[in-house]
Structure 1
Amino acid sequence: MTPDRFDPPSANRLAASRQNEAMFPAVPEQNFHVRRMTLIALLIAAIVLPCVYVAIMALSDWRSRVADATDLTLRTVRVADEHALKVFDMNETLDARVVDLTEGLDDDGIRAREAAIHEKLRTMGGGYPQVAAVSIFGRDGSLLATSRFYPSPAISIGERDDFVGIRGGKDLDHVSKVMTGHVAGEQVFNTGVARRDADGAFAGVVSVALRPSYFDAFYRELLGGNDITPITMSLVRTDGAILARYPRNPRNPREPAAVAPHSPFAEALAQGRRAGVVKMHSDLDGDDMIVAFRRVGSYPVYVSCGYRTSAIWAGWYRHLSVLILSIFTPSIALWCVIWLSLRRLGAEQEAWERWQAEASMRRSIESAYRQSRKMEALGTLVGSVAHDFNNLLMILSSNVQIARRRGTPGLDRELSAMERALKSGQSLTRQLLGVARKQPLRNETLSLERWLPACRELLRASLGAKVSLVIDIGAEVWPMHVDVAELELALINVAVNARDAMPNGGRFTVRAANIHFRRDDDFPLSGEFVQLSLEDTGIGMAPDVLARAFEPLYTTKSQGMGTGLGLPQVFAFCERSGGLAAIDSAVGAGTSVRLYLPRATDEPAADAPPEANVDESGAPQGLRILLVEDNEEVAAGTEALLQMMGHQITCVFNADTALHLFDDAHARRARTGEPLPFDLVLSDIHMPGKMNGIDLAEAVQAFDTQLPVILVTGYAEELDRARHVDVRVLSKPFDIGLLEQLLRTIQHDLTQTGTDPAAQSTD
């Protein structure tokens, strides 16, 4: 398990943050969601709106281009229609003049006057660039006269489709397909009319051969003289036969001679529609086309104008590219700005949440730190009172033991009541000294994962049947350096408070995690700690109650239900262990008490086998004890009790006097070899004078003697110092039986070694 890391701010930054909090209130957490949703909405709008705009503009541009192309084809086809109509009308007039010229003449008569007719035909047809030849054919299709040759060659068109059709009265064949003319000798299509004799019978055909190239040249000029154009122009018969076309498809030199039979244009021709627009795929152009067409007057001919949709697409793509660049270039910049804003907002939220967590922890720890300073002053007062109370308890305890040992018939009930009161007083004094930080701690290395299971039943008993217990301790939680008894008492105190906060039942959870406080900042804690979290689902605390939760003697429980020393003991225990306690709570949200206890540098010791009991046969007799006690009544009671145990007592009232006794005894021993007059020193630690009990013990040990020393104290700071001296320590108020057992152990040791400490020489 990787330890959590906490980075507390310095005192200056903390003050600045408080000032900022006053000037600029913290943004509520839900605002981050609103701001994020706003930015996401802006991002979506910044993406969707340009896309919608581009799509609308692209669709509008496409429709506009299609409409423009359609309009262009319609206008162009009208011009081509007017031109074709003039040409065909002129041809019709020319045909009529030739018919008039040959009126009343049969085939022989025309041959007889061929020379004159040839000149007139050459004159009539020579002035028109579209006319390749003007010819007169007889009843059997033989050439009678032409504007191109004189005399006329022997040519017959009797089997040609247009001649047969005109003779049969078919209107379509008045305009032939493109062919290589026999007379003109070039690519032409013929427009012809029938000649009639006086009886109205068919007498032959007058034909005008028109050049398709003339129409091609006109269409080229109409389209701007550019061979590379998206527009195509065509002159088509009603059966789909192509008479003229521009431009020719360079990729398809062998173009079909007719419109595809099943194309929309061919179907429009078959339906006889006079004008219209169709969209189709053109095999001639190999492309999709928009084709506008019009019928040329009453002639069996149509003019058509087609526009390549590929050209429309190309122009549309170019415009769309410019549109996309112009729209999406700033849009991409806007997307990046919004995306960066979202990233920054995420970082701000993470920092805000981290700051909130740190601020919450900082507030609770600072509150605990202020509480510790307040309790330090209170502890001095409580400690003095508890110390004096300890002396009173010692007087009462020793005298009760004296009464027990002397035998007092009829007073057993009263003595038992006094002993019960003594135990209650000792427990209360221990709590008071613990809250005042004067109770000695017996710290040892503790592994939570091994210790808590054994403590589970004790916690269940403290919580009651209605509250469920959950213990969540990881396998990698660090060992702690604590007083096990005080830790157990702290857990019980918190569990009892949790039980009272959950009268209808609930859940009490014990969690543990590793945490590291940095040394870089000015903060009460630094180093590695184990965070022990004790959480309940109870009614919680109001802010005013929470502010005083660790205050000694403060309780919200009814009279007789609480002493106000439970949570203060927890706080004092944590602080004296080198850590802190913090509490978080809200009404209806439960309470969480966090204990920060220092990590142990060594591993917990393995469970040792129980030690063998000291042989208690026989009472210790004859120990010469130097009793150092400043309280006369305590000294008198203790002296009397020890004398009843068979010991010889020398009593002095301060360490200075005791040291003078040792100096005198040491001097006599140096002169005469007389042994020291004491086997044991039993001394209080806290005494008036220049020296205290620890100073006395150190001075005694300086004489190079193995004289046993027992110190009695009720102050934790004195106990810490006493542990560095090779002495035995009893914490007040102590049980007389415990002292008796200790004296028996010392007597046993002296008996086993066969030595007399007082007899040892310093020389």
Structure 2
Amino acid sequence: MNPDRPAPPADRPIEPPRSDDAPFPAAPGHDFAVRRRTLIALLVAAIVLPCVYVAAMAYSDLSTREADATDATLRTVRVAEEHALKVFDMNEALDARIVDLVQGLDDEGIRANEAEIHAKLDAIGGGYPQIASVSIFGSDGDLLTSSRFALVPPVSISQRDDFVGIRDGRVIDHVSRVMYGKVSGETVFNMGVARRDEQGAFAGIVSVALRPGYFSSFYRDLLGAASPMAMGLIRSDGAILAYYPTRASSPDTIDAKSPFGLALARGSEAGVVRIHSPVADDNLILAYRRVGSYPVYVSCGYRTSAIWAAWYRHLTVLLLSMFTPSIALWAVIWLSLRRLAAEEEAWERWQAEASMRRSIESAYRQSRKMEALGNLVGSVAHDFNNLLMIVSANVQIARRRGAAGFERELSAMERALKSGQSLTRQLLGVARKQPLRNETIHVGRWLPACRELLRASLGAKVSLVIDVNDDVWPILVDVAELELALINLAVNARDAMPNGGRFTVRARNIGFRPGEGFPLDGDFVQLSLEDTGVGMAPDVLARAFEPLYTTKPKGMGTGLGLPQVFAFCERSGGLAAIDSAIGAGTSVHLYLPRALAAPVAERPAPPRPDVVRPQHGLRVLLVEDNDEVAAGTEALLQMMGHQVTCVSDAAGALQRIDATRATGAHDEIGEIAEGSPPPFDLVISDIHMPGTMNGIDLAEAVQQMKPKLPVILVTGYAEELERARNVDVRVLSKPFDIALLERMLEEIRRDQAPGSRPRGNVERDTTL
């Protein structure tokens, strides 16, 4: 594309500094980067080294505590194993003595000597605190005699597991589960052996009932009241025989799937495992040992919560002792970094003052240049509008007078007028004095409809590609200005690709948030127009925004294309940006704001009523400072049958209106008194006029009168139209369409007819 393309504002060139504005040289000894790196390295070391030391010490301390806990459980479980072994060995010896005592006696013989055997049983087991009772049972499970009763009650254990197991030869049942003993009258577990008759047949059992509380008391005395350890006596199938400390809701068996339960199932003799114990309600380091050849194990578990609690206490002391001086060191280094940053900032401010002054001067010169160009363009456009108005009015006069033989010349003048109007529109757009008629459009449906318009602008050698999805957001723009922008870009692309190429139009949704580096925030639709042309050099790209700047040959370009594109995007609330390089083509990106409302569905225009020519003319007060424009407009109005009075400024217009109202006495039926000047039916005024009052001031003053007069304002400036929208008037833009003026006048005539209802002055032509 050619240079009528905008570059982003950040790409504006800055004039080179003058010799007396050269930057200050760096001061010796102010190597801020080296000092900053040194301080940061010290700060990192002051943080990392204590942290590494604390982590190593904490890990070592935790490992040591776990090792000490494991050693403590192993030592303690050995003591408990020796104690349990002595108890079970003694019980086995007692069972053997009792078996020898009743050897050769059958059940009836034992019952016959019940009193004597009871005394001996009481003497054998009565002196041991762990023994609750010593009993002899017959082959059918009936109680024969016991150390607890001189005369035994009728008790049978024929269905009890330990009796059935001993009878059937199961080793594990020689030590029973914990139960409530019917003979002993308390909670016990039994250790029994079988009795045999002379033929070796099963003759019953001898059972010694042991108190679990005896073992719990021993474990309490062994560990101490505040010990973090727990001890237990467990049968090889996981049944708990005794445990300390006891809990009311503790289970009575070990979980078979726990590491300890699996070790019992394997028949392991001893070991150390880590488990979560529901019995202790904690995680444990558990050491266990088998009690001799008996189906019983002793266990000792160390609570890991106690290990962690002690470790946390030690870690707290370690952290306080290590990080208290470290924090002071960090604060010193941090303050040094802050002071260094403050010194560097002051140094940079000192260094930047000269370049800042140069940048401000350059930006000021550029702003003044653009302002001067804008004012120049606006003034030229205003004067050019007046010239076009004169020509347009006289062409209309010639046509209405039926100038025969001049049809070709008049048509040529009308075509020239349209070209002049288009050029004026571009000039006013660049000068930001062209009003925008914004409406919401759907990009995905609107762009394909412009295909033929773009093809006509590109020519036959350039292929057109439109890549737009239907999910692109609607945008709020002036459709005519957008079409003009696309035509300008298409024409530039055509000139940049004399041998043909490809012109691609894409659209996508994009959002910018504060802090992302884009000059705008919010949701936008990005229209990207890309060509495969020769591209632009950096110096040309930097000036692409400037009005009247062009690199095209004389007569080929006006220098208003890309400035119009950028001014349109900026006034629409968006931005235009450009990417280009020599030989790489050019991409122009138009960022247009997303519309919050959906596009309004198009409705068929209502049929226009036939224009009814007025039966009598209106009395028009024409206010225009340009004599030639006033003469042409007056001639047109008179040809339409209206009476016209011309004044050159707003003050003169008010005087004429006041004069007609002051001297125009009316009779009772509203007729004008004889000899009084007639009142005006409406005022047609230019907005831009010399003097203290402009056309809008005049319209506001007229609106205060009773009754108020309808007003038609004529202008070529957008900023004046913005103010005119707040006044109840009709607006025409220069050069205006005579047919539109006729319709306005006809509406005013109908509104002033007797019995008519005013419809309000809402019709406006704001297309400049």
TM-score normalised over the length of structure 1: 0.48
Larger radius of gyration: 1
TM-score normalised over the length of structure 2: 0.47
Answer 1 or 2: higher relative contact order, Cα 8 Å, separation at least 6: 2
